[in-house]
Structure 1
């Protein structure tokens, strides 16, 4: 009997190729034991983020130090800089400022060998988003002076950096915070609001996370506990597409690390 129905892939061949080549780019310079032995899938648990925090400011600083340590960049010189707070868009009952400018979640620059990472103070109230933001900016720090650009050129660096955050172990946080749509109420008004983080979609990040799990030998069932309920089914579909794509994992795993000479500083020390 002929089948008239064909499974629709989660990602197009073009998008899969970009992720494959980006993983190979990262493994070429940061693979080997650093990835396959030392890198962990970071989970939103007390084991990774101890919760004994005295203040929001301490929470931000402590979280940054924990993210940097889990990324294997604990000794890399880095300063954390708060941005100016965003203007309050709620100016009265049922009155909101439309299209008000917002500061980015985070920014990165490097000067005289030291990285400077800024963060939006509003993120102090959103632990998962601040973890994803710090992971993204540390991805910039990791890759900013490699001898070859990411797939498609440096104009794709932000997209590749989203994948770098997943590569560093923070895929659950990246996928869970890529898009958020929720109800709010403050006593005077109520409604709905949406927030986007990063450059790739939640589906693209789920696919990258599923690739990470396949490369690391992590069962997808052990990951779904920590993924937003609305994303669990899509994550499993990503896993199935990866398994069905002949040669995908073998091709990525075939990459050997060129050397450690491109590390600005030693990792996992």
Structure 2
């Protein structure tokens, strides 16, 4: 009888614990608010109109990344051009080179006439030397890491060109770079590659192929929830492309972000919610 009572008590405690965890927000309010504030910073400084009219929540599917190539260099170039196109930076003087060709830290600054992203973006004057970026050959077999790394690189270039600090200042530049990569549309890949599980067979885990994430997995989920909500994206299609253990957390992130947005007085967010039909 005592054993049965003990078992019953344990089940009640477990049920209460699950209920408590289920009601606990994914992120503290101040961290969720930083994500919202930094999104507004991104919208105001990095061509928010392009976000409204042309940005997509890019998925790691053949629909977004079609084509097959036979060499590491060709695949890197193909993925790079696809990522640049989705980011609306096809008219930026950026060139992908092999790792051994990447030289010093030359970083020209330039200005655009009007909008800075999209097919009609136009430089004030031609740039004689492009910005060079490279790739990690080990990521060819981990294409989501490759895409996310390119997105981070483009976000960093945007920030350096504009010279504007995010909420929280310089100390938050790495995190803001990741959030800006979400703003560019690459949140699914960023979220999927924020944490790399080391289990399974030892030969399957390659630490050299993993990207460096400034935002942890949970923060990435909240960024993804924010962007997908404001774009009115199909959450079921997005969830289907996330790693299985992230799907229930994404649903929770969507709920928490919706609660924050419902209370926000920010005109930018209200306009985007209205356009998204939320």
TM-score by length of 1: 0.76
Query: Tell me, which stretches of 5 or more residues in structure 1 are unaligned?
Result: 85-106, 257-269
**Does residue 151 in structure 1 map to residue 151 in structure 2?**
no
After superposition, the Cα gap between the structure-2 partners of 1:196 and 1:118, relative to the gap in structure 1 and judged at 3 Å, is: closer
1:223 equivalent in alignment to 2:238: yes
TM-score (norm 2): 0.74
Residues 163-174 of structure 1 aligned to structure 2 (within 5 Å): 163-174=179-190
Q: CA deviation at 1:160?
A: 0.2
Counterparts of residues 32-181 of structure 1 (less than 5 Å): 32-83=48-99, 110-111=107-108, 113=110, 114-146=130-162, 148-181=164-197
1:184 matched to 2:201: yes
Matched, 1:21 2:18: no
Cα 1:243–1:108 shift into 2, 3 Å:
farther
Q: Which has the higher contact order (CA 8 A, sep 6+)?
A: 1
Structure 2 unaligned segments of length 5 or more: list them.
1-15, 111-129, 272-278
Give the root-mean-square deviation of aligned CA atoms.
Answer: 2.7
- Higher Cα radius of gyration: 2
Shift of 1:146: 2.6
For each residue in 1:184-214, what CA deviation from the matched residue of structure 2 results, as whole angstroms up to 9, or x when unmatched? Answer: 355xxxx967656311011111110000011
For the residues of structure 2 that align with 1:252 and 1:143, how far apart are their CA atoms?
Answer: 23
Structure 1 Cα separation of the partners of residues 259 and 146 of structure 2? 34
